[in-house]
Amino acid sequence: MLLGPGDDAAMVSAPDGRVVVSTDVLIEGRHFRRHWSSGYDVGRKAAAQNLADVAAMGAVPTAIVVGLGIPAGLPVTWLDALTDGFRDECALVGASVAGGDITRCDLVVIGVTVLGDLQGRPPVERSGARPGHVVAVAGRLGWSAAGLALLESGRVPPPATSATYEEPQKTEVTPDEPASPPDPSAPGRAVSGGGAEAEGGPHGSSVGPTPGGGGEVLGDLLGEVVGAHLRPRPPYSCGVEAARLGASAMIDVSDGLLQDLGHVAEAGGVRIDLDPGAFAVAFAVAAAAGELGADPLDWVLTGGEDHALAATFPPEVPLPASWRVVGRVSEGEGVHVRGRAPGRGGWDHFR
Binding residues for Mg(2+): 8, 22-24, 53, 101, 252, 255
What is the three-class DSSP state of 65? strand
Rounded to 5 degrees, φ, ψ at 27 are -120, 130
Contacts of 246 (CB under 8 A, 6+ apart): 313, 314, 317
Binding-site residue ranges: 8, 22-24, 31, 53, 100-101, 126, 252, 254-255, 305, 347
Binding-site residue ranges for ATP: 100-101, 126, 254
Nearest to 267 by CA among 126, 89, 73, 76: 126
| DSSP character string of 108-174 | -EEEEEEEEE-TTPPP--GGG--TT-EEEEES--SHHHHHHHHHHHTSSPPPPTT---PPPP-----
**Based on C-alpha coordinates, what's the Rg of the chain?**
20
CB 250 within 8 A of CB 242: yes
**In angstroms, rounded to a whole number, what is the distance separating the alpha carbons of residues 198 and 179?**
14
Contacts of 50 (CB under 8 A, 6+ apart): 22, 23, 24, 61, 64, 112, 113, 114
Strands 109-117, 20-27: pairing is antiparallel
> How many beta carbons lie within 10 A of that of residue 61, not counting itself?
27
CB 87 within 8 A of CB 28: no
**In angstroms, rounded to a whole number, what is the distance separating the alpha carbons of residues 227 and 219?**
12
**In angstroms, rounded to a whole number, what is the distance separating the alpha carbons of residues 125 and 158?**
38
Strands 308-313, 109-117: pairing is unpaired
Binding-site residue ranges for substrate: 31, 305, 347
**In angstroms, rounded to a whole number, what is the distance separating the alpha carbons of residues 28 and 32?**
5
